[in-house]
């Protein structure tokens, strides 16, 4: 059996999930990998056979999705050509983690594909969503990667085809402690905006920044360039995590029994849905970076125990490779 595992390179969650799934697939089949998108700071620790620039969602530095940058800095004509030209007929199965080029190529060429992503969970009506629906956001979730067969990942099993998060081995192998400091990963905000707010809250902050190439410290705020080893060390020992309302980072924080506060990226409907789901679980969130709300969270005694089993190999064998 020959498989193509295609995944999105916008954000780190798709890469983190691929780090777990690809080695398992290689135990059962011949596997090629393909990535499209250009906004991930996490590097794959396996060989990638095909790279495409694809189509990425781009952000401003004040916490919001930038439609202007998304339109101006993506080459949509090239993406259409890639969809037409990409050769997929040699594969028995395409597994897609929210990757649009292979998604549309499979639809147009009627090739077998299963979507295996967090975004797939959004297409089930049982998944928590804000009371006020975002029409454009719903369209993006439905048509960015068109799929007939899908398995979603989410914080809870809202539907039989929605599974618990895939927690990567690098997180499962940590020995979490709580040493008083707080970890921050908010790539949608500038370092200046983050520091301005966090300086007002008298605890130690470790900020991981995609904008800074060098370490520096300002008052009680340390800023580190993106480095997986340093990040995992801080993740292991922090008291809590302040991050955007993506999926993997909050899921890993919950798995590690860390305090969690999320800020959904403005105009990013998927993150608003994630914040809604987390809110129902008792996890605080805010639309903006407010010092009063962060201070209240720091002073709180938040605790939420979750059960995220290490069952991704069983899911792949029984529900994906058997197709």
Residue 253 forms part of a structural domain: yes
Confidence (pLDDT) at 63: 52
Confidence (pLDDT) at 133: 84
On whether both 34 and 134 belong to a single domain, the answer is: yes
Residue 190 forms part of a structural domain: yes
On whether both 290 and 316 belong to a single domain, the answer is: no
Phi-psi region of 267 (alpha: psi -120 to 50; beta: other; left: phi over 0): left
Distance CA 270, CA 248 (A): 13
Evaluate if residue 307 carries a pLDDT over 90: yes
Confidence (pLDDT) at 42: 59
Q: How many residues does the chain have?
A: 323
How does pLDDT run across 142-187, given as a tens digit for each residue? 999 999 999 999 999 999 999 999 999 999 999 999 999 999 999 8
On whether both 269 and 314 belong to a single domain, the answer is: no
Residue 188 forms part of a structural domain: yes
Question: Which residues form the domain of 152?
Answer: 2-167+310-320
Confidence (pLDDT) at 79: 86
Cβ–Cβ < 8 Å for 285, 279: yes
pLDDT above 70: percentage of residues in the chain? 95
Residue 305 forms part of a structural domain: no
On whether both 179 and 116 belong to a single domain, the answer is: no
Evaluate if residue 297 carries a pLDDT over 90: yes
Confidence (pLDDT) at 64: 62
Confidence label for 230 from pLDDT (cuts 50, 70 and 90): very high
Please count the structural domains in the chain. 2
On whether both 121 and 134 belong to a single domain, the answer is: yes
Q: Which helix (H) or strand (E) holds 232?
A: helix 228-237
CATH number at residue 6: 3.40.50
How does pLDDT run across 36-80, given as a tens digit for each residue? 976 555 567 788 999 998 777 666 655 566 667 777 777 888 888
On whether both 162 and 27 belong to a single domain, the answer is: yes
> CB under 8 Å to 143, separation ≥6 — which residues?
none
Evaluate if residue 113 carries a pLDDT over 80: yes
pLDDT above 90: percentage of residues in the chain? 75
Beta bridge partners of 34: 6, 50
The number of angstroms, rounded, from the C-alpha of 133 to the middle of its chain's C-alpha atoms is 21
Confidence (pLDDT) at 225: 95
On whether both 91 and 156 belong to a single domain, the answer is: yes
Among 7-21, 80-94, 228-242, 252-266, which is the least confidently predicted range? 7-21
Gyration radius (Cα) of the chain, Å: 19
Among candidate residues 110, 148, 164, the one with its CA nearest the CA of residue 309: 164
Strand ranges across the sheet with 2-8:
50-52, 30-36, 2-8, 93-97, 113-117, 149-153, 162-163
Alpha carbon separation from 150 to 99, 123, 235 (Å, rounded): 13, 9, 31
Contacts 24+ apart (CB under 8 A), 170-173: 170/19, 170/228, 170/232, 171/232, 171/235, 171/252, 171/255, 171/256, 172/255, 172/310
Place of tokens 């599974």: 163
Evaluate if residue 99 carries a pLDDT over 70: yes
On whether both 131 and 214 belong to a single domain, the answer is: no
CATH number at residue 265: 3.40.50.2000
Residue 304 forms part of a structural domain: no
On whether both 182 and 126 belong to a single domain, the answer is: no
On whether both 23 and 159 belong to a single domain, the answer is: yes
On whether both 42 and 147 belong to a single domain, the answer is: yes
On whether both 92 and 199 belong to a single domain, the answer is: no
Among candidate residues 287, 307, 286, 305, the one with its CA nearest the CA of residue 296: 286
Confidence (pLDDT) at 295: 96
Residue 124 forms part of a structural domain: yes
The mean pLDDT value for 235-239 works out to: 97
Average pLDDT over all residues of the chain: 92
Confidence (pLDDT) at 196: 96
Residue 247 forms part of a structural domain: yes
Residue 132 forms part of a structural domain: yes
How does pLDDT run across 175-211, given as a tens digit for each residue? 999 999 999 999 889 999 999 999 999 999 999 998 9
């Amino acid at each position: 059996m020959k498989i193509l595992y295609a995944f999105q390179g916008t954000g780190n969650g798709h890469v983190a999930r691929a780090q777990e799934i690809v080695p398992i697939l290689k135990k059962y089949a011949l596997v090629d990998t393909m990535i499209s998108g250009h906004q991930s700071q996490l590097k794959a620790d396996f060989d990638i056979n095909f790279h495409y620039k694809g189509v990425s969602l781009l952000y401003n530095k004040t916490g919001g999705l930038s439609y202007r940058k998304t339109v101006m800095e993506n080459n949509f004509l090239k993406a259409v050509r890639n969809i037409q030209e990409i050769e997929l007929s040699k594969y028995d199965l395409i597994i897609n983690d929210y990757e649009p080029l292979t998604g549309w190529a499979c639809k147009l060429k009627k090739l077998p594909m299963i979507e295996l992503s967090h975004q797939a969970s959004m297409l089930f009506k049982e998944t928590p969503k804000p009371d006020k629906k975002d029409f454009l956001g719903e369209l993006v979730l439905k048509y960015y990667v068109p799929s007939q067969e899908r398995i979603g990942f989410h914080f809870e099993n809202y539907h039989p085809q929605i599974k618990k998060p895939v927690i990567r081995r690098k997180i499962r192998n940590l020995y979490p402690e709580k040493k008083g400091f707080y970890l921050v990963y908010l790539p949608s905000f500038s370092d200046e905006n983050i520091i301005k707010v966090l300086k007002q809250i008298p605890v130690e902050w470790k900020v991981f920044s995609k904008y800074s190439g060098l370490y520096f410290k300002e008052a009680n705020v340390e800023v580190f360039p993106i480095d997986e080893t340093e990040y995992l060390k801080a993740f292991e020992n922090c008291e809590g995590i302040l991050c955007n309302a993506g999926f993997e980072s909050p899921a890993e924080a919950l798995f590690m029994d860390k305090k969690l506060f999320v800020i959904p990226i403005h105009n990013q409907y998927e993150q608003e849905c994630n914040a809604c789901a987390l809110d129902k679980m008792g996890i605080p969130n805010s639309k903006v970076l407010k010092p009063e709300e962060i201070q209240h969270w720091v002073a709180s005694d938040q605790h939420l125990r979750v059960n995220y089993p290490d069952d991704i190999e069983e899911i792949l064998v029984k529900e994906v490779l058997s197709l």
